[in-house]
Chains A and B, each alone.
Chain A
Amino acid sequence: MKSEDRFDLPQGTLDLLIMRIVALGPIHGYAIAQRIQLMSREALQVQQGSLYPALHRLEYKKLLVAKWQPTETGREAKFYDLTARGRAYVKDETENWKRLTDVVGLILKGTVEGIS
């Protein structure tokens, strides 16, 4: 876990990442953090200080819905799931993101080639 492998998330992407993870099925906050870390091959570590406010914000925006359920260990945890609106949001934002990264990638590549 070297610090130079990590980087800060661009603004607004945390919401999309969370939603993407939640899209895989109901999940609690700790697991979301774990899953992001795992899926990003340890490159991304989400701080609790950003995760929970984001989760709550998404819940109040009615993109997520939360329910208290027991986990496999028997403890009660707050599980988040997508709402219909949340699903639409993930779809739209994922496409937007892809388009954006494609365009940014194109430009970056072009410039680099032009310079070299």
Chain B
Amino acid sequence: MSWLHRLFSRNQLERDLDKELRFHFETQVADKVRSGLSESEARRLTRLEFGGIDQVKEDCRESRGTMWVESLLQDIRYGARQLRRSPGFAIIAILSLTLGIGANTAIFTLLNAIMLRPLPVQNPGELLLFGDGSAHGSTQGVPDGSTRLFSYSFFHDFRQKNISFSGIAAVDSSQFATKASIAGAAYETTHVDLVSGSYFSVLGVPAVLGRTISESDDSAEGAGPVAVANYAWFQRHFNGDPSVLGKVIRIQSHDYTLVGVAKPGFFGITVGQSTDLWIPLSMERAFSRPGWNGLGNKLFQSLDLIGRLKPGVTPAQAGAETNLLFKRIIRSYLGTQPPQKHLDDLAHARIQLMPGGRGVSPLSFVFSLPLEILMTIVALVLLIACANIANMLLARGVARTREIAVRMALGASRGRIAFQLLTESALLALIGAAAGVALAWRASVLLLRMATPGPDPVPLDLTPDLRVLGFTLGVTFITSILFGTLPAFRAAGLEFTPALKEGRGSSSASARGVMARSLIVGQVALSVLLLVVAALFVRSLVHLSDVNTGFDKHNVLVFFLDSSTANLSHGTADEIRSVRLQEQIESSVQNIPGVQSDSFAFFTFNGGAWSDQALFLGVPRTPQNGDQVFFDIVDKGFFSTMGIPLVTGRTFTSQDQQNSPKVAVINETMARRFFPNTSPIGHRFSIGETPDHPGELEVIGVVRDAKVLTLDEGSQMAAYFPCTQSPGFYDNFAVRYAPGANKQEIISRVRRSIAETNPNILVNSISSLEEQVDRSIATQSLIAQLSTFFGILAVFLSCIGIYGLLSYSVARRTSELGIRLALGAQSRTLLWMILRESVFLLSIGLAIGIPVALTSTKVLKDLLYQLSPLDPTAIAIAIAAVACMTVAAAWIPARRATRINPVQALRTE
């Protein structure tokens, strides 16, 4: 009979045991009767010899080895009964645990999804990423410094020469949404990744249907017009029908054959992005991207590389070899006599190999610090909740003194009682954890939406996985130990005889008091810390929202357009057609009632940037003017649409045509850095560190500074060019409308105007400029909101603690207070007597909490905008809030003390 069997056939075993022992007993009696004793005498003697039959049974049960499970179940049942008997305590405890554990699980779920979870590929631990994966798009020129993007030529040359990696995969770093149409159906937004032929084999991702992209698809330019689908996309579009292999998918204006479907659960290597289709890098030219020349230019660097280490090669060895080869290969691209500058740059260039098993996670750069801080905050909140529950359990321990004393008197060991009390705590924690996981599941999705607002949700799998559940279980265990141990040991450790004698015991009250008071002091200290943090974040957010953006964010709509299916030409003289198309749309929209001005632009606020250095003719390079300049390509109406005021000179007009002299408008910072004392109007400059055509652009105007990427950026140099002179289709279309105009009406009429001008120009999304500004500080406002929420929660929990402690002490001192009243004590004196205790605890809590806050908020420095981590206002707000709430919580029991009826109080004695 196996152990499990014994555990589950308990009833059968009990019956057998009883029967066996009864047989023994009866046979013994029968033997004695046979030897001449009377029946009753025989029974009496046998019973004497037998000893306690229940003791024998208990020993037999012990030998089954299942007793501990049975007693555990008994403890759980008993614990559940105890909790049901005091529902108030159970509800408060479970609720605070649900919030505490739920918040921890929710934040950890995000942390796990963004920073910890490995890709669903073969042996993710063997993968190394070249660079940290923080760059997207393309860069040209000789690499210098830490290199993150690589050219197609480099990928091929490196692959052949290296000996550290068993394979290297390349993927275009500029993940973007484009348009695709299946078998002639309407175009829809589709995420396409350009990948090397080695991509699937190196990652070890097999096809679930058909085949993946192979080396032959990527062998020569245009060699593989094939596509591999993501399983979820395939399910969504074809309901898993395998006969669709061979179907033609039109991506932009090129046809691809669907050759396979990748294994379920694989979404590409970028965390927070879900690739719908993979096509070979050999098809890059078929993609319409102005200025993209990845296959032709050896220094056009746009790829992320990820390599799989050969067995036995350490990352350090691979790093050494990679850097050696990197310099040798790039040097071979520079020709026989490169400028010294290029050689110097190359000397500084290096590749940092990073663990690649978690893929590329752009989200982790933005969210790792905020998530770590939030994780700390919620852990502290849970700690406060634990202190509260420990305090309530201590109080219950005193109330249960009699019960425990009785159980001890009946033979329960101290250990057994402590274990039973711990089981009760664990039960509480487990119920809280179960509710917490359910809460976290919803909350983490909500948090992600709050952190990354925008038209498309970030595809991040937030279903709790084993790691999350393990974390929660660990937290639950630690939690129950934290709040359960102290009260359990105290309860079990007390001497039971005096407790029995005293009845409703108060013997351990003073020791309990010290412990309860220390817990409260700890809670106050932690609350004040959390409130200081919250106040800092809120004040920083207020500063950020008050930043002068330099543009007028009100009453502006930005339409994000997609022209990839319009078959516009790129890189040819015909490109001016795109500009004409834009002008048609602009003038058509201009006629809509309520529209004040409109303009196409390369970028609008927070939407990306193109930057490089600039050099003016006749102005020496200085550290001030050597910074990056942010460039934008705009149309005539841009400055009035964005509300950026002109300082001197003029903005673009219809005279600035393709063949007229090239002109530019610069901002005040750029003007000041290059011409601190004179006007820049009429001066000439060029783009680049050492421009090919020096001075080809003439400054015609200076405008006020406007923020480019973020609200917290410093003064940046910026220059604007007219789109007639840098032709192309620029997909940000900004429309300013009159205040009070009907926004929805304008949106639908703009849509109609665009569709009428060219039905192949698609509107991807629409947002207001205000939304764009808000979105740029979404992380900061999320942190401010969450830290405030948790700070208030922390104070609230501490107040419950103080309220509980004082209510208890007032209740205990009822008769004393009654005597004092009867002897003529003023109710104000009594009020102060009770309040004094809470003020005392508050002061100690503040005395501990404020220094801790002052020393620990330094870590927040990078997250605060124009605010010192020691901001006195924030600290004052926190102290005031904690003090008010604490005194308010103490006030209620203190008032109760003054309302005691002395006659009644004395009668109860």
Q: Which residues of A are interface residues toward B (Cβ below 8 A)?
A: 28-30, 33, 47-50, 52-54, 56-57, 59-60, 73, 75-78
Contact = CB atoms under 8 A, between A and B. Distances in A.
Instruction: Give 10 nearest A-B pairs by CB, closest first.
Output: A53-B59, A57-B63, A30-B24, A53-B63, A56-B63, A30-B27, A78-B20, A49-B56, A77-B23, A53-B60
Contacts of A53: 56, 59-60, 62-63
Given A30-B27, A49-B51, A60 B56 contact: no
Contact of B20 (A29, A57, A73): A29
A15 to B, nearest CB: 12
B16 interface: yes
A56 to B, nearest CB: 5
Contacts of A77: 20, 23, 27
B64 A48 contact: no
A76 to B, nearest CB: 7
Given A60-B6, A76-B19, A78-B16, A48 B63 contact: no
A83 B63 CA distance: 19
B26 A48 contact: no
Contacts, number: 58
A81 B299 CA distance: 86
Interface in B25-76: 26-28, 30, 50-51, 55-56, 59-60, 62-65
Contacts of A56: 60, 63-64
B45 to A, nearest CB: 13
A78 B64 contact: no
B823 interface: no
A104 B26 CA distance: 41
Given A60-B1, A78-B16, A52 B23 contact: no
Interface residues of B, number: 23
Given A60-B1, A76-B19, A78-B23, A47 B63 contact: no
Contact of A75 (B17, B23, B55): B23
Contacts of B24: 29-30, 33, 48, 52
B21 interface: yes
B1 A52 contact: no
Interface in B586-620: none
A28 B59 CA distance: 19
A52 B56 contact: yes
A60 B23 contact: no
A48 B65 contact: no
A28 B65 contact: no
B16 A30 contact: no
A115 B24 CA distance: 49
B64 A52 contact: no
Given A48-B51, A56-B63, A60-B65, A28 B6 contact: no
Nearest to A50: B59
6 contacts: A29-B20, A48-B51, A49-B55, A50-B59, A52-B20, A73-B27
Contacts of B20: 28-29, 52, 77-78
A71 to B, nearest CB: 8
B51 A47 contact: yes
B841 to A, nearest CB: 55
Contacts of B23: 28-30, 75-78
A99 B51 CA distance: 36
A72 B13 CA distance: 24
A56 B60 CA distance: 7
A45 B24 CA distance: 15
A80 to B, nearest CB: 10
A50 B51 CA distance: 11
Contacts of B21: 48, 52
A48 B50 contact: yes
Contacts of A54: 63
Contacts of B6: 60
Nearest to A77: B23
Nearest to B2: A60
